[in-house]
Structure 1
Amino acid sequence: MGIPVFILAGLLVHVVFLASIFDIYFSSPLVHGMTPQQTPLPPPARRLVLFVADGLRADSLFELNSNNTPQAPYLRAILENNGSWGISHTRVPTESRPGHVALIAGFYEDVSAVAKGWKENPVEFDSVFNESKYTWSWGSPDILPMFAKGATGDHVYTFCYTAESEDFGAQDAAELDTWVFDHVKSFFNSSRSNQTLFSALNEEKVVLFLHLLGIDTNGHAHRPYSKEYKENIRKVDEGVKEVVSVLESFYGNDGKTAYILTSDHGMTDWGSHGAGHPSETLTPLIAWGAGVNYPQKVTSQLFEDNFLKGISRSFNYVKMRMLLFAQADIAPLMASLIGVPFPLNSVGTLPLEYLNNTDHFKAESMFTNAVQVLEQFKVTKHMVKKKNVSLNNNYCCTVPLSDSEQINFLKKARLYIQQQKYNEAVSESTGPLYGFTFLGMIIAFFLLIQTSPWTYYVYCLLPVPVWYAVCFIYLKNCKFHLMCVVFSFFYRSTLTVGLLVFAGWPVITQLWVQAKRTTLIWTLLCVLLAVFPLMPVVGRESNIPLVIAAGLTTLLISCFSLASFSRGEYKYQSKEDLKVYLYQMFSIALSTYVVSSTHNSLKNKQGLPIFNQIISWMTLAFSSALPLLSPTLLFQRLFSILLSLMATYLLLSTGYEALFPLVLSGLLLAWIQMEQEALQHYGLSLKPKLAVFNFAYATDITQFRQLHLDDIRRSFFFVFFIVTAFFGTGNIASVNSFDPASVYCFLTVFSPFMMGGLLLLKVVIPFVLVSCAFEAVQVTTQLSSKSLFLIVLVISDIMALVSCFSQLFLLGKFAFSVLSPPCSISHYVLVMSLTIFMMLMNGLAQLLTTKRLELSRRTKHHST
């Protein structure tokens, strides 16, 4: 089998393995065909106003300022005198769309929505808005349309500002919230002269939704502890006060308006969200108005969670109604307050402590809540029976909730209500609720197994020939470091241990005897690179001076290299080659200036300078082509690749990570030299000196030598460096909750796909450096690409299995989320993705190292 066919087969197999995870787990959890359920008693409120302060942390709202004054005095007065308050617990991923879906629809988002930028509906779903008589909403074009799109009929209206308004570099992002408040007030003022609108606003079951994005935008741009973030909270507090005043005046203080203020997610100290830190998952909830309980005074209340201790000190005399209730519980609360059917796919539990109503109403509401969840159970069970007719029909009977048991449960709960035994009815309706949810998960699991679509047969049978083909490879000398690589998925610091062991490799193998200088450089760079996994993940702290220092260091190294490339064996062959190198140095200098200038401009709230933006995009566009204009001599081509990629990487850096490619590249160059020395140590080297080695004249594959035991170590070194390239400055959570400041040199207006693409480019750049270095190792040591590729695949596949089993058995983690789902799916996906990346990077590295573009040169013609 030739190399291209072999690579294609390996790529196809791993693409199938990767696709299997998305096919099995990343599918919609929703079922359809349920009967709507609503409480039969009159609701306490005619209308509901929902304020969602996007990106508002619980502690930022509830804790007192340094001078013991409240950050939001109006809302503080509400929870002390008029309403109930608590902490809502969001689920990962802590992003805007999933948070709003949980709040308004009562279920946790189908993760396949991430492929559409969290904007469109992969599957249509029901919501409180859809069940309302009318809903009017104001705010972001990223959030509002998704609830109008899935609504039946024409009763959900949206008023959005332009997408260009969501600018992280704007002078004052609080203007987004001011826009919402102003338009709401204008809307109600104008409705007095519009009889149709006036009548609609006075109907029952009306919802008003105010999406307030300014806090989130200021948090991204300036961090949650900044004056801009805190000032935005104060403006929201004032805006809420004004809107409440307008509404109460419009409705004549009829006491039929319920208010809820909450947030879709929080934010880390460094201005990001998406992962599972308490600062991201704990959000505030304040409810007041019609049907909502009044505050309850207590002598004290203490919370064990360290993140909540500051809140407990601020509110040790006003009882928190519910500690850490689920975000999806807010949807049934809103439905109960205005008397609309519970959203059909809601999995929330009605928080009774927030209701100010009779025991009869509470019992009926809980009964409705339970029946609504039971409806989902019945539909799911019917789907299971329908799709499993060819299997043992006794399967469905094993589910411990038969039809007769469902009927008995409903009759018993209804009898308690008729006998006015409301507490017993509530207890009867609540107990099975969690069981139904759990059973639904079990049913979903068995549904995936027993329906068995054809793709599942591929996933099960494909590994058999693959493992049969590769089982002869023995990896006994990689056990320790293999575990280091696997555990680095969970603990980045394990990479430090591996790098420190790497530092001693020349001593163990006696290589230091014949290459003392290279050994010293190797050891120092291993120790230096080992520091990076101990640093905080990228994005936690911005440090632009370090980025500037990285740029200046690169220029300094370039000057020394230029001196080397101008004499002796490294000498450039033409002036054109020298011009390319000088242009790359100029790009580094220009990128360094752009980073400094851009962040100073944003700090002064002057926005992104158009000149800087143009330079950034031009640098990105030309950086990939410039190495192809440089000589194909080993060190000259590798250094040209580093300079081109470094120019782009600087533009995407915000702190210490800007130094990472420099240290990594230095270690990789030392690795190339050490491997050459290792070949000479075993008497296998037939290649010329590295200084004059030319990628364009690599030895033909037919002349490649047989595998040696050291080749397994070389393959593992490659895998280890690939993993280090990813986890050296971040982790899975930091990718999910990246800092938008990384892309501010390119754009500041929110664009999820554009920003995500730039983030992916930043992640890929270290991969390219490692792959190019490994290409040099491969050709200079005359190592067969086919054999090498097979070893790398085996190591990667073993890592995938070990990562799952170590998560399951050694670490004992069972987290049901996108970031850490059962059996460490996220880590399995990462390993499979890295494997595919390594295959693709291998081809890219060959292109970058061996190919050269010849510019048209003006030649002189001499007369004969």
Structure 2
Amino acid sequence: MNLRLFIVAGLLMHCVFLASIFDIYFTSPLVHGMTPHYNPLPPPAKRLVLFVADGLRADSLYEIEEDGSPRAPYLRNVIEEKGCWGISHTRVPTESRPGHVALIAGFYEDVSAVAKGWKENPVEFDSVFNESKYTWSWGSPDILPMFAKGASGDHVYTYCYTAEKEDFGAEDATVLDTWVFDSVKNFFYAARSNQTMFSKVNEEKVILFLHLLGIDTNGHAHRPNSREYKDNIRKVDDGIKEIVSLLEDFYGNDGKTAFIVTSDHGMTDWGSHGAGHPSETLTPLIAWGAGLNYPQSVTSQAFEDNFLKEWKLENRKRVDVNQADIAPLMASLIGVPFPLNSVGILPLEYLNNSVHFKAESMFTNAVQILEQFTVKMAQKRESTLSFLFTPFKLLSDSEQTDVLRKARSYIQQGKYNDAISLCKTLIILALEGLSYYHTYDRLFLGISIAMGFVGWTSYVILLIIKTHTNLMRTVQNNKASSVFAYGFSAVGIFIAFFLLIQACPWTYYIYCLLPVPVWYAVVREFPVIQDLIKLLLTFPLHQSIGFLFICALGIEILVFSFFYRSTLTVGLIIFAGWPVITQLWAQAKITAVSWTLLCWLLAMFPLMPVVGREPNISLVTAAGLLILLISISSLPSLWKSKNKNVHRKDLAILLFQMLSIALSTYVVNTTHSSLQHKQGLPVINQIVSWTILASSLVVPLLSPTFLFQRLLSILLSLMSTYLLLSTGYEALFPLVLSGLMFAWINMEQEALQYYGLSLKPKLAILNFSYSTDITQFRQLHLDDTRRSFFFVFFIVTAFFGTGNIASVNSFDPASVYCFLTVFSPFMMGGLLMLKVIIPFVLVSCAFEAVQVTTQLSSKSLFLIVLVISDIMALHFFFLVKDYGSWLDIGTSISHFVLVMSFTIFMMLLNGLAQLLTTKRIELWGVTKYHAT
């Protein structure tokens, strides 16, 4: 197969494999076509006020100060004197958008919708705001519009501040909350003199939503244990007290206002969120006012955590809920229909009303969730052949009718508690049924993808054997090939017809038909398979088993490192002994010692904390000084150049890169100093940072293409950007990694001589631009498998050396403060990805150098890398699960997505590494190089 055609096919295949996981696990849970349902009894409240303190942890609000005083005195008084309280348990991902959707719409948004942005409403969903008579909301432009845009009619009003106010480097982020409180005050002051507005706010079924972002912003900028974060909580407590007083005065203490205070997500000690740590998933919930319970005294409470004594709330009944349960609670309080897509279960313990009202509310809740179940079941039945359809057995059509009839009968007979119990059982069954139909096609699709995976990997292995080894191949039998073609065509037509009569989505055609051409390509190489089997039979059985065992062990180590970063440390320590095992120690002692020491040094990084560390700019400065020393040490080689024209050009490039390193070090120090003193990001620092970033992508292409000169130029340019994105010890990581890469290149040349494969010229005169000469290439050797494994291991180390899944889901904004401090999720995310990519680029460029020194085409080694990566991806595909904790589910899916992204990314990275190493921009005319 043509190389370009193979790369395109490989990219398409892996994009399909990656996309499949979203169709299997991340499809939208929403269904449409339901009828709104509401409690027929009069509601206890005319209006509801929802305060959402973005990023507020439960323990941060409830805990007592060192002097014994409450951090939020007003809300503490509410818990003890006026209302009920508990913890709202959120689900992963703990981000603002899915948190608010769960609170206000009552369902857990699928990840694909979250990925489409903060400001849009990518799917139409119902919400409590949409069902209200009027909703007024104040706060962030990233949250409020998505509920207004999806609302029917013109009754959801938003008042947002500008995005520029969301500045992590601002002197005082509490101004975000102050703006909200002041805007609400001004709104009600104006309503007194505006008859139209006055009549609207006095209507029934009114919601006031205050989104308070200051706590989240201060948490990101200063950490939740900081004075700024805690002071912001006090500001919010004071603001809530003022708003409650204002509303009670405005409405004349009519007792028809319900208040709810909660949060969309929490925050880790290091100022991030997105994963499933308890500090992120435990959020406060305080409710009081019309229709809500008063404090209930208890003598003991059974909770797994020990928070009650720590918070000194063991005598006040704590009622925990799932975050989605808050939506039906709000709907019940003001008498609006439950959100159509809600999966929340009404928390009755928060209601202060008659048992009759509670029974009717639970009945409404059950009917609303059951209707989603029936619509979902009908959709699946219509798209499945009748003899293949397997209904959810625990809740048949007749049983649904019987339970509803029985529950209604209980209510009519006054057996309210029996009705409530029956409705809860029905809700639980309906939710199980929703999950059953939501995952109905999962096994079918999973088998199709797995077959495609195995087929593709088998084809790549056969391609390696056919084109890059000395294995003798049998001549292709054209008659047999024709038979295979007709046979696979018939299978493809049958599958397509089967999908067509079931009206399956178009993506199903791709997933189910993809294995057909892949396996046809495998079967066409049947003669190669025969020759391979004959060859394997010539080897002793213990050697074959031993080789396969070592390969499997190596891949398992890579897989295990995704769960435990310390596995990388063990691997690097084993790598350190490579020269001793292979006797390379005696052949090149200095290189071997360097390799061993650098392996040990790099092995320290996976043992260091990933996140949760305080910024340590002195380590960033140390990294900058070390790279400057390395730059200075390379100056003598330029002075020795016989070509003075070359000397001047190369010297100018090197001096420019040294200047960039020095400026980066200076900018990092002055920026963090300025932010510590709350003076904001200096404009000149911002300009310098972006300039260095832009130049770092071009300057390496100006340097000579001699192997070590080009690699050094790439390191210096990328390090200048990496320093700007560093806050601590991670600034040293690329230095140590690059040192090990240089040692690896030297070791591979020595290994070639040891194995008697070739006698290479000196590394000093090797040139990347000459590496495409096909006459120099050799066939693959068994030891090339080890080289490819080293590359994959170093790529995984490049990612997990200082990071993990959680650090990608929820990054530390401090890393991008040299570039911007105003909240911009996509820009910040892009800079974070650049920081993650830089170590990848360093490893990939080193791998290109290894291919030059070992006289291999880039295609041959890369194919082995592809096989290793795909086997890992297939391993993670089988580890994906939809049971257990939400963190376990999310982690298993993230691992598969990450490995698949690695595979796709490495295909693109291979091209980028070739560009960075082999191409040169001539600004001063064509230069003829001579060996020095």
Whether TM exceeds 0.5 here: the answer is: yes
- Deviates most, 417-426 or 475-484: 475-484
Give 1:303 shift: 3.5
Report the counterpart of residue 360 of structure 1 in structure 2: 356
Which of 322, 327, 331 is equivalent to 2:323? 327
Residue 363 of structure 2 aligns to which amino acid in structure 1?
A: F
SS in 2 for 1:159: strand
Identity %: 72
1:309-458 matched pairs, under 5 angstroms:
309-323=306-320, 325-388=321-384, 391-393=385-387, 395-397=389-391, 399-447=393-441, 449=444, 451=504, 453-458=508-513
Q: Residues 385 and 731 from structure 1, CA distance in 2 versus in 1: closer, same or farther, beyond 3 angstroms?
A: same
- CA–CA distance in 2 between the matches of 1:445 and 1:104? 25
Report the counterpart of residue 585 of structure 1 in structure 2: 658
Q: Residues 116 and 699 from structure 1, CA distance in 2 versus in 1: closer, same or farther, beyond 3 angstroms?
A: closer
SS in 1 for 2:856: coil
| 1:298-329 per-position Cα deviation (integer Å, ceiling 9, x unaligned) | 23446423xxx244322344334323x21000
Conserved? CA contact 1:564–1:570, under 8 Å: no
Report the counterpart of residue 683 of structure 2 in structure 1: 610
- CA–CA distance in 1 between the matches of 2:922 and 2:705? 12
Report the counterpart of residue 816 of structure 2 in structure 1: 743
Runs of 4+ in 1 over 6 A off after TM superposition: 466-474, 568-572
Q: Residues 379 and 547 from structure 1, CA distance in 2 versus in 1: closer, same or farther, beyond 3 angstroms?
A: same
Which of 679, 693, 696 is equivalent to 1:623? 696
Give 1:234 shift: 0.3
| 1:488-522 per-position Cα deviation (integer Å, ceiling 9, x unaligned) | 11111111111111111111111111011111111
Q: Does 1:32 align with 2:32?
A: yes
Give 1:435 shift: 1.9
User: Taking structure 1 as the reference length, what is the TM-score of the superposition?
Assistant: 0.95
Report the counterpart of residue 836 of structure 1 in structure 2: 904
- CA–CA distance in 1 between the matches of 2:522 and 2:764? 40
Q: Residues 174 and 570 from structure 1, CA distance in 2 versus in 1: closer, same or farther, beyond 3 angstroms?
A: farther
Give 1:381 shift: 1.0
Q: Residues 264 and 568 from structure 1, CA distance in 2 versus in 1: closer, same or farther, beyond 3 angstroms?
A: same
Which residues of structure 1 form unaligned runs of 5+? 860-864
User: Taking structure 2 as the reference length, what is the TM-score of the superposition?
Assistant: 0.88
Count of residues in Structure 1 that have an aligned counterpart in Structure 2: 848
Residue 60 of structure 1 aligns to which amino acid in structure 2?
A: S
SS in 1 for 2:339: coil
1:145-164 matched pairs, under 5 angstroms:
145-164=145-164
| 1:17-47 per-position Cα deviation (integer Å, ceiling 9, x unaligned) | 1122233333321000101111111111110
Which of 719, 728, 741 is equivalent to 1:655? 728
| 1:686-720 per-position Cα deviation (integer Å, ceiling 9, x unaligned) | 43111121112225124311111110000111111
1:521-670 matched pairs, under 5 angstroms:
521-538=594-611, 540-567=613-640, 573-670=646-743
Which of 557, 560, 563 is equivalent to 1:487? 560
Report the counterpart of residue 195 of structure 1 in structure 2: 195
Conserved? CA contact 1:62–1:314, under 8 Å: yes
Report the counterpart of residue 732 of structure 1 in structure 2: 805
Give 1:2 shift: 3.5
Conserved? CA contact 1:570–1:691, under 8 Å: no
Report the counterpart of residue 173 of structure 1 in structure 2: 173
Conserved? CA contact 1:90–1:282, under 8 Å: yes
Report the counterpart of residue 875 of structure 2 in structure 1: 802
Conserved? CA contact 1:363–1:417, under 8 Å: yes
- CA–CA distance in 2 between the matches of 1:136 and 1:348? 23
Give 1:80 shift: 0.6
Residue 456 of structure 1 aligns to which amino acid in structure 2?
A: Y
Give 1:569 shift: 10
Residue 499 of structure 1 aligns to which amino acid in structure 2?
A: L
Conserved? CA contact 2:93–2:276, under 8 Å: yes
Q: RMSD value over aligned CA atoms?
A: 2.1
Q: Does 1:134 align with 2:134?
A: yes
Q: Residues 858 and 704 from structure 1, CA distance in 2 versus in 1: closer, same or farther, beyond 3 angstroms?
A: closer
Q: Does 1:277 align with 2:272?
A: no
Which of 916, 923, 932 is equivalent to 1:848? 916
Conserved? CA contact 1:321–1:354, under 8 Å: no
- CA–CA distance in 1 between the matches of 2:441 and 2:393? 13
- CA–CA distance in 1 between the matches of 2:772 and 2:382? 62
| 1:597-654 per-position Cα deviation (integer Å, ceiling 9, x unaligned) | 1111111111110000000110111101000111111111001000100011111111
Q: Residues 557 and 539 from structure 1, CA distance in 2 versus in 1: closer, same or farther, beyond 3 angstroms?
A: farther
Conserved? CA contact 2:772–2:857, under 8 Å: no
- CA–CA distance in 2 between the matches of 1:677 and 1:371? 74
Conserved? CA contact 1:814–1:821, under 8 Å: yes
Q: Does 1:62 align with 2:62?
A: yes
SS in 2 for 1:395: coil
Report the counterpart of residue 143 of structure 2 in structure 1: 143
- CA–CA distance in 2 between the matches of 1:30 and 1:699? 53
Q: Residues 157 and 699 from structure 1, CA distance in 2 versus in 1: closer, same or farther, beyond 3 angstroms?
A: closer
Give 1:464 shift: 3.0
Q: Residues 569 and 56 from structure 1, CA distance in 2 versus in 1: closer, same or farther, beyond 3 angstroms?
A: farther
SS in 1 for 2:136: strand
Report the counterpart of residue 841 of structure 2 in structure 1: 768
Which of 572, 580, 583 is equivalent to 1:507? 580
- Deviates most, 26-35 or 334-343: 26-35
Conserved? CA contact 2:370–2:430, under 8 Å: yes
Give 1:857 shift: 5.6
Give 1:655 shift: 1.2
Conserved? CA contact 1:565–1:571, under 8 Å: no
Q: Residues 466 and 646 from structure 1, CA distance in 2 versus in 1: closer, same or farther, beyond 3 angstroms?
A: farther
Give 1:576 shift: 1.1
- Deviates most, 49-58 or 830-839: 830-839
Give 1:483 shift: 1.1
Residue 168 of structure 1 aligns to which amino acid in structure 2?
A: F
Residue 510 of structure 2 aligns to which amino acid in structure 1?
A: T
Q: Residues 580 and 60 from structure 1, CA distance in 2 versus in 1: closer, same or farther, beyond 3 angstroms?
A: same
Q: Residues 807 and 516 from structure 1, CA distance in 2 versus in 1: closer, same or farther, beyond 3 angstroms?
A: farther
Report the counterpart of residue 862 of structure 1 in structure 2: none
Report the counterpart of residue 778 of structure 2 in structure 1: 705
Q: Residues 596 and 567 from structure 1, CA distance in 2 versus in 1: closer, same or farther, beyond 3 angstroms?
A: same
Give 1:210 shift: 0.2
SS in 1 for 2:185: helix
- CA–CA distance in 2 between the matches of 1:23 and 1:397? 21
- Deviates most, 581-590 or 539-548: 539-548
Conserved? CA contact 2:38–2:364, under 8 Å: yes
Q: Residues 756 and 286 from structure 1, CA distance in 2 versus in 1: closer, same or farther, beyond 3 angstroms?
A: same
SS in 2 for 1:821: helix
Residue 378 of structure 2 aligns to which amino acid in structure 1?
A: H
Conserved? CA contact 2:331–2:337, under 8 Å: yes
Conserved? CA contact 1:384–1:447, under 8 Å: no
Q: Residues 415 and 321 from structure 1, CA distance in 2 versus in 1: closer, same or farther, beyond 3 angstroms?
A: farther
- CA–CA distance in 1 between the matches of 2:772 and 2:95? 51
